[in-house]
């Protein structure tokens, strides 16, 4: 049994429609995988940046603590030196008390400056964290990936087959000619 040209055209149209549908599904899956991979890489990058900020914060706090200890040591040395100098000079009373208060005030001001500096640096790292989070959110690929629908593919295939059928009809019997057979068999007539 030989296959006619029209039948071969129908088969070719059906295979082409099915192939296009399957190719569309495969492409959509590949796009979804690429999108998921890209978003995962962005999340990993964001997490690495957050870790770097955490290390910066630890370094800031460590440096501030070390500076605080150094300032305390210096304050103790300064007060001790002032007491020894006053004792060696045989000075006592209000002037020595004023000098000691001045040293204490200087030590408190140095500690206050240290704390303000650390706080400002920690606020800056919090801004970095916020910017990293915002960048991570805005960088996410949330584009919609169109998946071909079976219904749409079937409708397209039906349209192509109908066009193929119409192309194989003799002149005057085509749908566009207005003389195509009616499909009243749906109504039972």
pLDDT in tens, the chain (189 residues): 677 777 777 788 888 888 888 898 999 999 999 999 999 999 999 999 999 999 999 999 999 999 999 999 999 999 888 888 888 887 777 888 888 899 999 999 999 999 999 999 999 999 999 999 999 888 888 888 888 788 888 888 788 777 777 777 777 777 766 665 555 545 554
* Residue 174, domain member (yes or no): no
Per the CB < 8 A criterion, the answer to whether 122 and 36 are in contact is no
* Residue 54, domain member (yes or no): yes
DSSP string, 20-86: HHHHHHHHHHHHHHHHHHHHHHHHHHHHHHHHHHHHHHHHHHHHHHHHHHHHHHHHHHHHHHHHHHH
How many domains is the chain built from?
A: 1
* Residue 50, domain member (yes or no): yes
What's the domain range around 81?
Answer: 17-139
* Residue 151, domain member (yes or no): no
* Residue 130, domain member (yes or no): yes
* Residue 25, domain member (yes or no): yes
φ/ψ bin of 170: left (φ > 0), alpha (ψ from -120 to 50), beta (otherwise): beta
* Residue 45, domain member (yes or no): yes
* Residue 171, domain member (yes or no): no
Q: What is the pTM of this model?
A: 0.64
């Amino acid at each position: 049994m030989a296959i006619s040209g029209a039948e071969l055209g129908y088969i070719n149209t059906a295979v082409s429609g099915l192939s296009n549908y399957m190719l569309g599904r495969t492409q959509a899956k590949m796009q979804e995988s690429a999108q998921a991979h890209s978003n995962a890489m962005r999340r990993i990058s964001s997490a690495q940046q957050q870790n770097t900020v955490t290390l910066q914060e630890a370094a800031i706090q460590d440096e501030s603590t070390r500076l605080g200890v150094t300032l305390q040591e210096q304050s103790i040395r300064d007060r001790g030196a002032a007491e020894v100098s006053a004792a060696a000079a045989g000075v006592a009373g209000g002037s020595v008390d004023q000098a000691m208060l001045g040293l204490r005030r200087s030590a408190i001001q140095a500690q206050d400056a240290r704390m303000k500096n650390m706080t400002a640096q920690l606020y800056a790292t919090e801004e970095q964290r916020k910017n990293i989070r915002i960048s991570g959110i805005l960088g996410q690929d949330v584009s919609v990936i169109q998946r071909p629908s079976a219904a749409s593919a079937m409708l397209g295939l039906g349209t192509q087959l109908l066009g193929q059928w119409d192309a194989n009809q003799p002149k005057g019997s085509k749908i566009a000619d207005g003389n195509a057979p009616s499909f009243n068999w749906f109504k039972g007539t």
